[in-house]
Structure 1
Amino acid sequence: MSDDLVFYTNPMSRGRIVRWLLEEAGVRYETQVLDYSSTMKQSDYLAVNPMGKVPAIRHRGKVVTECAAICAYVADAFPEAGLAPPTDDRADYYRWLFFAAGPVEQAVTDRAMGFTPTAEQGRMAGYGSYDLTIDTLETAVAGKEYVVGDRFTAADVYVGAQVGWGLQFGTIPKRDSFQRYWAGLEAREAWKRASEKDDALMPKDASVA
């Protein structure tokens, strides 16, 4: 593996998003698997990410954290992989990549934790309401194979992961548009390879699809 790109992860984390991205990019990378209660909180890794969370990457000495940022960075760092559209056609790419990372993540997390904002709190939080966020997300994928025209991009990795996990765990409703979109993505060979690699790292008493 190449020392140029180091991937810090745990198979029971959002690191699965980045693994899928790296497999789509077809780049060489070194994987460092961290444990939540030990190595993730030790000084060596805190020097990489002071939050003590995964995933993160280190590429040629530079650290990138946060899944959406990693998706955008890798797509730009390895243009030959074709994971980013041309710079003059990135409106939907940036819009939906960061919509999924912001409003969708927040709305889904709040709902899972039992917090339903009032109308006033929804304005403060920025996403309005769970229902509004999900309805808006649906406009990104309804009747479409990919979120950016007819091409697969890093935005599909992030949006697709949110949709796929949401369908699996019940945090996103099983609407036809979401199910059709995810069905196309989970058939991708890179997603299958990434899942196999992460599944092989899972504890024997745990399971993640």
Structure 2
Amino acid sequence: MTQLTLYTNPMSRGRIARWMVEETAQPYETVILPFGPPMKSPDYRAVNPMGKVPAIRHGDVVVTECAAICAYLADTFPEARLAPSQQARGSYYRWLFFAAGPLEAAVSNRSLGFEVPPERHRMIGYGSYEDVMDTLEIAVSTNPFVAGSTFTAADVYVGSHIGWGLQFGSIEKRPAFESYLARVTDRPAYRRAREKDDAAMQALQA
């Protein structure tokens, strides 16, 4: 069996990748990288030149960026049924990359105190924060899950963003968001991932 390795830090977006790896039910090795010199070391930059986590190595394949990790693992382990059939991937791709692009950019800018002037909305990919929130509500309330009636890797990614956003106040508290988050996190893989990351965080802080 090809070795799967997760490079992560429990206080980072690595929690998304951990959840996704747990959903595949595949054995894996975890490499915890503290922030600072270890994450910027030449050895790790050979894995991810950005010097950031998460990343995965699967045999000779290295994947970085959370959305890409989710998509790769869903395709590589089809037995986990984390991606729709090829004919039904429109919503799956749409909302996975909506979250990786407009949603993350809008939330990050809002958190940093940067507001796009109305006359510049056409120049920025997400338009306005309000447009993104309204679109996100459509994504999570049209169907039980973002790609339809079944849970997919896109829910790992979208759900993680909503979870953090609600926790830290960067995403508005709307009933649709809270209801969707409760649905997607009511999973054994999510609970396993959270327990492992919480334990790793305590170890780093000890």
Moved over 3 A (4+): 203-206
Q: 2:4 & 2:109 partners in 1: Cα distance?
A: 34
Shift of 1:144: 3.0
TM-score under structure 1 length normalisation: 0.94
Separation of aligned partners in 2, 1:203 and 1:51: 26
Q: Secondary structure at the match of 1:97?
A: helix
Would the aligned equivalents of 1:144 and 1:181 in 2 still touch at CA under 8 Å? no
| Residue matched to 1:200 | 199
Q: Show the 5 A alignment for 1:2-151.
A: 4-151=3-150
Output one character per residue of 1:26-51: Cα deviation in whole Å (capped at 9) or x when no partner. 01111000011121010100001110
Secondary structure of the residue aligned to 1:63 is: strand
| Partner in structure 2 of residue 178 of structure 1 | 177
| Percentage of pairs with the same residue | 60
CA change 1:19–1:204 in 2 (3 A) is closer
Q: CA deviation at 1:124?
A: 1.9
Instruction: Note the C-alpha offset of 1:204.
Output: 6.4
* Preserved CA contact (<8 Å) 1:163 1:172: yes
Give the drift of 1:120. 3.9
Aligned partners of 1:55 and 1:66 also within 8 Å: yes
User: Could you tell me how far apart the structure 2 residues matched to 1:154 and 1:204 are?
Assistant: 28
Q: Post-superposition shift, 1:105?
A: 0.2
**SS of equivalent residue, structure 1 residue 202:** helix
**8 Å contact kept, 1:75–1:83:** yes
Question: Residues 115 and 66 from structure 1, CA distance in 2 versus in 1: closer, same or farther, beyond 3 angstroms?
Answer: same
What is the rounded CA distance, in whole Å, between the counterparts of 2:203 and 2:4 in structure 1? 28
Q: Which whole-Å deviations, capped at 9, do the CAs of 1:37-66 have from their partners, x for residues lacking one?
A: 121010100001110000000111111000
Preserved CA contact (<8 Å) 1:3 1:29: no
Whole-angstrom CA distance in 1 between matches of 2:162 and 2:66: 15
Deviation of the 1:118 alpha carbon: 1.2
Task: State the AA in 1 paired with 2:166.
Answer: L
For residue 186 of structure 1, what is the amino acid of its counterpart?
Answer: T
| Distance in 2, Cα, partners of 1:169 & 1:197 | 21
Report the AA paired with residue 65 of structure 1: T
TM-score normalised by structure 2 residue count: 0.96
Give the aligned residue type for 2:91.
Answer: D
Which consecutive unaligned segments of at least 5 residues does structure 2 have?
Answer: none
The CA distance in 2 between the partners of 1:19 and 1:87, in whole Å, is 25
Measured in 1, the distance between the counterparts of 2:79 and 2:2 equals 20
The CA deviation at 1:96 is 0.1
Distance 2:120 2:5 in 1: 40
Q: Give, in whole Å, the separation in 1 of the partners of 2:105 and 2:81.
A: 29
Q: Aligned in 2, Cα 1:124/1:82: closer, same or farther, shift over 3 Å?
A: same
Distance (Å, rounded) in 1 between the aligned partners of 2:5 and 2:119: 43
